[in-house]
Every structure is written in C-alpha cells, then in structure tokens.
Chain A
C-alpha cells in the first residue's frame, strides 16, 4: 500500500538516497562525511557507486569462484552467503542486513569464496573495489571504515565456533541481529526475521525443530514475542544475559 492510505513504511527497508544524500543505511557515508566528502565529491572522483537490483528471492548475486571485482552494500532486503561441500550440502556462512557489506571476504583471493543469494527482494549499492581502495589511500576515515568492516566480518565467523548450548546460540543470534538493526537506525526490539528457519538452523548448526522449540521456550519465558516472522524482544536483559558467553567469545 502507498502512503495515501496511511501506511507507514515497515522496518527493514532503507531510505533511498539521491544525487546529494546518502542512503540512510550507507555503510560508508559516515566515514566519507567525516573526511569532508559528500556524494557529489565521490562522483567527481569517478568512484563507481552503482545501485543494482532488485534481485528476486533465490536469485544469486555472485557465486563461489566468480572473479572478484566489487564489494556491495545491502540497500534493502537480506542476503545469505553460503558454500557447498563435496557432498552437495549447503553451509550458511552469514546473513547481511541493510547497510552491511558483502564480498569483503573475497579481497584476499581475487575470487569470491562463497555464494551470495537474495533471501527476499534485494537492492545493492555496488562499489568497484580497486576504486574504493584507491580512494581510501587518500581518505583516512574511509580506510579505517574498511578495516573495521573487515574485522567485523571475521568476528561474525567466531560467533558460532564455540561450544555453546542451543539457547545461548539463539540468544546471541537474536541479540546480534537486534544490535545490527539498531546500528542502522531500525528498531532494536522489533524486527522481521527475513531468513528461513532452515537457514537459521544451518547457520547455528542446530536442527530446524530445535530452532522452533527454543523460540517457543523464549516466548513462554517472556523474553520474546513471535508473531509469524516478526520478533519482538520483550525481556532484553534476560536475553542479553543468556547471550553473554557467546558474545564475549566473539
């Protein structure tokens, strides 16, 4: 529905930027503005900033082994990255929300080491990597931001490597999602879970039924409210405590 009928936009979709403004979720705007550049300057510097998509649900953005040319910030939607093992089993590596950057793990290898697929309707902001790297040498803020993104990407992998209970892993997953949404200006306590329970289960190395059992238990204990795909965190303190051990390791 459009605005004329009184609907407010739902969480999870980025405000669009224009010629003179960054998208509200832009992964780089803060760094660029800090260094005294705005989007018009970036254009002058011939940096390729290109909005691509929408990709439909299930459509691949890049595949494992494709030559690496660009990183991309998610403008709207959710992207899943995964690899497939020799037995053809899929292993989910991560979920990328609006404002987050995909392709960073390809930087060292010149090829994308995983597949990236749209989980819903996805629009991306594509940056030519050679160009943004060159720009970073002249913009200390941008360089810092790139390093920060790279280290976060590594941190994400550590999130699930420890030997934690299903409850702890789920709590950490929800708290991490909540923080990531909040960091981009979305509600921290009420968000849509855009990924399927199969993917969450795969990511957390749990059975799908376990995912639902834990969700139901969290709901019964008053930590969250689940209404279809919408999650509301109702007892954040309790959930954070449960997530503590995992998040400390990460």
Chain B
C-alpha cells in the first residue's frame, strides 16, 4: 500500500465527509425554480454580445439503459425497446433546432459530449440523425484539439458501431468498466466480460480515436483489493489515455437503484481507502498523472498537458481542456452554463417532451451567478484543477482583498492547515500531497452555501473518499 496514504489513513477517515463534487459552483442543489426559458434566451443573447464570444461546448443526455446497474445515481430510464430512443431523438432534434439559431454563427463548437444513461443505446441511424442536426444548426470547429466524445457501455458496442462513431466525427470515447471481478459484477447487476471490453478498446485504437477513457469504481459490494488489482492490471495493460476511479457513494435514500445493494456487503471505510490507494499506486507506477478528484491521465494526453500548464478546468463533464466554452446542455436533465448563469432542463421525460412539443426550451431551474458566486467559483476551480489558489490572480480579477474577503473561509481552513492538508504561503494557498484526495473538503471551506466541512450534507452529497 502507498506509504503516505497508509500513514494518513486515519486522517483521511476523519475528513471523509459528504460534500459537492464541484462540477459547478454553486452546486446544482442551489439552483432555483425562478429561472425560466426567457432568462436562458437572454443569457444566450448576452453571450453573443461579448467582445470575443466564447466557443461552444454541447452536452447531449441520452437517458436510456438496457439494464439497471445497481450502483447508478444517474437520471436514466431502463428499457430494451430501442424505438424509445428514436422517439427521444425526434424531440432532441427539435431542441437542437430551437437552441442552435440563438447562437451567433461565428461561435464554433469545440466540444461535444454524449453522456447518459447509455448513449450507445441509440441506434446508429438515430445517433447519425442527431449529429446531422447538430451540424445543420451549429458550426463545428475544425481545430485538431476539438473534442467529440461519447460514453459507451462496452456490452452493447459492435465493431461496426465503433466504425460509425469514428465516421460521425467522434474522436474520444469513455468506456464504463467498474470492476471485472465476477462477484462484484453479479452484485451490481453488470456482467461484462474482459474480452468484449478489450475488443472495444482495441477497435477504438484501430480507428485512431484521440483519447480513450476507462471508468472504474471502488467501494462496490464484495470488492477486494485482490480482485480490483486484477482489474487494474488488465486495464492498465491496454494503456487507456485517461482513467477515472470513482468512489461508489451509497445513497439509497436518493437513488432508488441502489436499494438493491446490500449495505452489509460494502467495503468499510478502511477497505475503501485500501482500494483507492491500490489504484493510485498502480496507476502512478504505470506512469499516469493524477489530475485531481478521481481522474488520471497519461502524460501525453491533453488533460495532463492542461494540468501541467494550468489551463485545466472543471465542468459538468468532469475535468476538461475546454472550460472556456459556453456550455449548452441538450436532452432531459441536461445542465447549461452560459455566461453568468447555470440552468437545467426538466428532469422527467414527460415535462421535457411537453415543453418541446409546445416549441419551448425545456428549462426547469437555474441561477444567475452574482459577483460573490464568481469569486468563489474561481477559487474553487483553482483548488480542484491546480491544487492551489493564486491569491494575486484572484485579487486582480475580482477586485478584492483576499484575506479580508475570505476571512471566514480561512478560519474554516485552519484545522486543515494544522493537519497538514493545506499550506498557507504568502500569496498562495496550496494543497499538500496529503490533502490531494480531499480537494472537495478543502473547496467546501470557500463555499458560501456550506458551513465548511463540519456540516452534515448527507442529504445531497456523497462522501469525499
């Protein structure tokens, strides 16, 4: 086990508390219902009027899955009827047609991400129709570093499917793996063979995808260090460009699917740390760079470059090299980040469908980011993406006196400083190597909507580790 982590085990446990994942600040539970379609349209109009309007990032949510994985906390619909996907795509195309013309034509799309659910639930022809519609209503960037990515469930991907994705312009894929251990797979209702998974990876390589990501999860029922080590070895052998090691958050009160998981079979906190540290150790040995939170990347991957040169950003899709874009979310429950606003589409399918059938953008809730939100959002971005706060840059950008403005936050940070998780220097607050697994706990000190890491945020958020 990783030496440093081993001796810090107790410390980590002490700070293993619930907190937002900071894919946005303020986090989504702070969005309000007063935000409506007219406001979204106005934010888009304003975003067109900036001196250099931002390029665009599009997120498309495909909510369907063939079968329920019991660990899942996503918004999804379980069915084997692919024609439901075709009907969904009809409406999605309607939404694209409504939203596209609101953006000025010189705003290139730099990033497209299909998430879910399971985007490859869609028939190839349906997916192609969505891309065609996007091309009709938006202008795709021709830059080499544009990211067009799709999340795939390798259990339902054929070699022909991969060929189609490449042909449609996708250059990044993200594969769900979780764990190859049969006992774990049984317990989470996701039986996925090593062979079919590796075949998808190899096929993507043959089609020269720029970047392949693999998602693993630690903290699943029956998971053991031995079994997880085998999974890690198998995956690392194929050298995916990126790896995400998510911690399973057991919150059955929030996510119905998780009620099928017997809490008695879950690893305890010590075992979770052992699983995580095994992963960190193996990935580090294999040459992966720790990007932050749950993400690792090979040194030559764009994400590692962005981390190294300080341009890494975090948004609803996790870590990204295109955080300077305005983000438009399309599909049920999708979240947008346009200018100084966040907004989210209706979370249930019927409401989303009715809005589109009436020719309305299906906005459900959102919020305007005031200056305080912007300052804190900036600070939290720096913590999550660079593991340090450059005080001078914050003061300059937001016209504040950092020490005065954040007097409360710095007081809340004090115990973390004493525990060696955070270092206070002149004009810099930095996260120590012991603190790097607790980024969200550190960020919470700067969150106006949380009272610091001591508050019980169990109702909404998963634990840090």
Contact = CB atoms under 8 A, between A and B. Distances in A.
Interface of A: 1, 5-10, 193, 196-198, 200, 208-209, 211-212, 215-216, 219, 226-229, 231
Contacts of B401: 6, 8
Given A1-B372, A5-B405, A212-B106, A219 B400 contact: no
Contacts of A197: 48-51, 53
A228 B325 CA distance: 11
A219 B52 CA distance: 10
B49 A6 contact: no
Interface in B44-86: 48-53
Nearest to A5: B405
A196 B339 CA distance: 14
A88 B91 CA distance: 37
A229 B51 contact: yes
B397 interface: yes
A7 B405 contact: yes
A231 B53 CA distance: 14
Contacts of B106: 208-209, 212
**A interface SS class:** mixed
A215 B400 contact: no
7 contacts: A1-B370, A8-B401, A197-B48, A197-B50, A197-B53, A212-B106, A229-B50
B400 A198 contact: no
A193 B405 contact: no
A200 B407 CA distance: 41
Contact of A226 (B51, B104, B105, B399): B51
B426 interface: no
A212 B399 contact: no
A193 B52 CA distance: 11
A212 B371 contact: no
A227 B51 CA distance: 9
B51 A212 contact: yes
A167 to B, nearest CB: 15
B402 to A, nearest CB: 8
A10 B399 contact: yes
Contact of B51 (A5, A7, A9, A231): A231
B400 A7 contact: yes
B397 A227 contact: yes
A6 B409 CA distance: 13
Interface of B: 48-53, 104-106, 370-372, 397-401, 404-405, 407
A198 B51 contact: no
A211 B51 contact: yes
A193 B104 contact: no
Given A1-B371, A1-B372, A209-B106, A6 B404 contact: yes
A216 B398 CA distance: 23
Given A5-B405, A208-B104, A216 B52 contact: yes
Given A208-B104, A209-B106, A228 B405 contact: no
A219 B50 CA distance: 14
A193 B51 contact: yes
A215 B51 contact: yes
Contact of A8 (B53, B372, B400): B400
Contacts of A211: 51
A227 B324 CA distance: 10
B38 to A, nearest CB: 14
B52 A215 contact: yes
Contact of A7 (B49, B50, B104, B399): B399
- Across chains A and B, which 3 residue pairs bring their CB atoms closest together, nearest first? A196-B49, A6-B404, A6-B405
Nearest to A190: B396
Contacts of B397: 227
A121 to B, nearest CB: 14
Nearest to A219: B52
B49 A228 contact: no
B1 to A, nearest CB: 44
Contacts of A198: 49
B50 A6 contact: no
B371 to A, nearest CB: 6
B104 A8 contact: no
Contacts of A227: 397
Given A5-B372, A6-B404, A209-B106, A228 B399 contact: no
Contacts of B400: 6-8
B193 to A, nearest CB: 49
A174 B401 CA distance: 29
A211 B49 CA distance: 11
From A5, A198, A211, A229, name the one whose CB has the most chain B CB atoms within 10 angstroms: A5
A193 B397 CA distance: 15
Given A5-B372, A227-B397, A212 B53 contact: yes
B126 to A, nearest CB: 34
A211 B106 CA distance: 11
Given A208-B104, A209-B106, A7 B52 contact: no
A187 to B, nearest CB: 11
Contacts of A228: 50
Contacts of B105: 209
A1 B448 CA distance: 13
Contacts of A8: 399-401
Given A7-B400, A7-B405, A226 B52 contact: yes
A180 to B, nearest CB: 17
Contacts of A5: 372, 404-405
A155 to B, nearest CB: 25
Contacts of B53: 197, 212
A212 B399 CA distance: 26
B442 to A, nearest CB: 21
B313 to A, nearest CB: 14
Contacts of A10: 399
B141 to A, nearest CB: 14
